[in-house]
Structure 1
Amino acid sequence: MIIRLSELYAKQAILNKRIKNEHNLFDDDLFLDQVLALLVEIGEASNSSRHFKYWSTNQKPKEDLREEFVDVLHFGLSLGLEIGYHLGLVKAHIGSDLTTHTLLLAERVIQLAQARDPKIPKSLLIERYENMMQYLLGLGIMYGFSEEEIIEGYKEKFAENMSRQATGY
């Protein structure tokens, strides 16, 4: 499945600029903070999906799974903006099972962070970002969300995040 992201990058840029402006962060390098936030959000989405909780008799995903996945997407988009790159279309990579796919996504996030080294060509950083986004969007598809549900969920969370910034979140 191919997912269109251009509109989402534009919205994320608005939110990121607002956050940086309101918190006086324009001179700060937020890349590693965003990497860590993305890893945390991947964990929160996993917790809501419950796919790895073999010890539990309740395997039904929590109601907030889409919102948690959209948080993952927000930080994925932010990382692209932070490195000065965005994708118009992304072909989602669909894995064989959720646990393996989630771990491979986390690995790709860390590989992206490692490629931020100034000694490494920017082309490798871009390649790793593209690959990470393929796995990130694949995770949403594997959770059972359509492109429309992902985009609509993003727009809803974007509006909530803008409102939160207005109220001093």
Structure 2
Amino acid sequence: MNLQKILKMQAELDNRIIREKGLEGQDLLPNTYVALITELGEFANEGRWFKHWSDQQEPKQPEYNWKPNEDGSNLEWHPEYGYKSYPLLEEYVDCLHFFLSIAIKKGWKEELHIPEEAIEDFKEAGFDGGLSGVFVEMQWSLLNSRMLKDEESKKQHFHIAWRLFLAIGIVGFGFTLEQIEEAYMNKNAVNHKRQQEGY
């Protein structure tokens, strides 16, 4: 995933929204945190892992773009064919948009990176407290990145939340960085189209 590329794309989208909605000079950070928290809830709802009261604790499976194989006898799917829909991944990248917006607004984007070693640690050790434990810890760190007084502590908590968010997607649900980037690009294009159409 080319993080610098998608940060640039997110900044362009954010600037367009500010310009076209006449929001110059307004502090939009509280709204962005509420939007991220809301989207994280929608992601969890789609993921269903925490619904111990339900027989359905797995997310909906993606709908693939099937294409005929070379001899035309069967339909097949390869990652490069993409998806008709993948609701869980779509909710995940909605969260990604707001994580990026916060990093941009706070000036924390320079330190943003893909923590490959931390992700490998999660793959080996698993999630302490299960997926729900990691999700709650991510939320707690995210809220601390907003509510603490010390700016350095806020930044540290944001980066903890970011690492946990990536681990949830990559380790918890098996998303690849390529899938995340492609889904981000698709949703970013949808968001630009929505602005154009007066969303």
CA offsets per residue over residues 38-79 of structure 1, 9 Å max, x none? 111111000000001111112220341000000111000000
Unmatched tracts of structure 1, length 5 or more: none
1:153 is the counterpart of 2:176 = no
* Corresponding residue for residue 162 of structure 1: 192
Q: CA RMSD in A?
A: 1.6
* Bigger RCO (CA 8 Å, 6+ sep): 1
Identity of aligned residues (%): 33
1:133 is the counterpart of 2:162 = yes
1:83 is the counterpart of 2:106 = yes
Structural mapping, 1:56-95, within 5 Å = 56-62=54-60, 63-86=86-109, 87=111, 89-91=113-115, 93=119, 94=122
CA offsets per residue over residues 120-149 of structure 1, 9 Å max, x none? 2x3323222222211111121112201111
Aligned match for 1:107, one of 140, 149, 157:
140
* TM-score of the pair, normalised by structure 2: 0.77
Tell me if structure 1 keeps the 8 A contact 2:39–2:94: yes
Unmatched tracts of structure 2, length 5 or more: 61-85
* TM-score of the pair, normalised by structure 1: 0.89
Tell me if structure 2 keeps the 8 A contact 1:4–1:89: no
Secondary structure of residue in 1 paired with 2:114:
strand
Q: 1:164 deviation in Å?
A: 0.6
The structure 1 segments of at least 4 consecutive aligned residues displaced by more than 6 Å after TM superposition are none
* Corresponding residue for residue 31 of structure 2: 33
